[in-house]
Each structure stands twice: as C-alpha cells, then as structure tokens.
Amino acid sequence: MPTYNVASAVYSKIIFHAARYPHQLVNGVILGKKSGSGYTLVDVVPLFHQWTNLEPMLEVALRQIEIYSEQNGTAILGYYQANSGQDKELGPVGNKIANKIVEFEKDAVVLMVDNTKLSIATPQVALSSYTYQEKQWRHVKSGLDGGDGPISFKLEAPEIVQKTAQLIGQRSHLLISDFDEHLEDVSKDWLGNGEVNNVIKA
C-alpha cells in the first residue's frame, strides 16, 4: 500500500482556503510526485468558493493546472474539499472532480476538511484522507486523523498544525487566492500563491 507524505504548504493552504470562506464549499487540486514506494503531496491549487458547478470553467482550470504542474515537475495527485457545514461528505461536485482525477492516477487521494477541528485556540489536524476503493471514495484511517491503517498519510512537519492556526489568527489566510478570484482579477496568483508560500516558510 502506498504512503503519502503531506507537505506543510498542502496543509496550510487547504486550511487557509477553508478559513477564508467558512460558509461556502471550497475545493482545489493536490499536486505531488512519486517518492520511493509512496508519494509526496507538495502543493495545492485552490479552485472554487462559489462557481463550483460550472463545468466549462472547471475544464479550463484543470488544463491550466496540468501545464503548471508539468512545468514544476509535479502531477495532479488528488483533490481537496471543505464543506460549508460540519459534514465530510464529498457530494456530487467533489465526486465528479475526484473521479476525473483518479482516471489518470489510480493512487489519487481526497483530503476532506473536518470543520469541527478548525480552532485557533486548540488546533488539531483538520484533514481526513480518502482513497478510491471498489469504485468509490472510502475514508482511510491514517495518521492524519488518529487512525493506524494500511495506507499511511503523515504530515512532514506536524508543527504546521499549530503554526497554521497562529497564521489564521494573524489573518494570513486572507492572502490565499483561488480560480474564482482569478476570473475576477487576472493578477491573482491562484496557481502558485507565492505570498502564502512565503508566510508559511517564514
């Protein structure tokens, strides 16, 4: 079974996106690369917070992400989503995008945000992992959410959970840009989010 190492940028950007739009479904694509017998999830590209059902826009975004990932030596390895409520259901939108990704990468993953664990005062790992098994996305009990299953997910730097909460307290999550924003302002760095990278690394 593959192992998945989750880089700090992946964790922080997903949580930033969810925190910036707490009352809306947000989603994005996970980028990574093969690493020995497993994978390293190195970055994410935020997609939507409002136009989640626009198929033509999704196709445009995914094509741009493919080009961007190839230029940076990575590949699309998964999908992330945060719902507007406290449930962790992937739903029709999430299933459609995740199923599209798994067609090209059999070991693709889904990371769902657990909104019940999003707290600045008492931060916990707020991601749950899913893999494609028996033609559906199934929750994997992994290191991310306290489980110990055959498929391993782990944060490369566990301290990023605390740091991400601190950065949200400093309102750094407002720096994150997604494809929706890019459609309204083409100057938004939705693919790289370089300013966010700098904050995370500081």
Who contacts 21 (Cβ-Cβ below 8 Å, separation ≥6)?
Answer: 49
Write down the pTM of the prediction.
0.95
Q: Which regions of the chain does DSSP assign to beta strands (E)?
A: 3-6, 26-35, 38-46, 75-82, 109-113, 127-133, 136-140, 152-155
Give residue 108's pLDDT band: very low, low, confident or very high (50, 70, 90).
very high
Is the model's pLDDT at 109 over the cut of 90? Answer: yes
**What's the CA gap between 23 and 6, in Å, rounded?**
26
Give tens-digit pLDDT for 9-21.
999 999 999 999 9
**What's the CA gap between 188 and 47, in Å, rounded?**
12
Q: From residue 31, how far is each of 73, 99, 108 by CA, in Å?
A: 10, 16, 10
What are the structural domain ranges in the chain?
3-201
Q: Among the CATH numbers 3.30.1050.10, 3.30.70.270, 3.30.720.210, 3.40.140.10, which is that of 3-201?
A: 3.40.140.10
Give tens-digit pLDDT for 53-62.
668 889 999 9
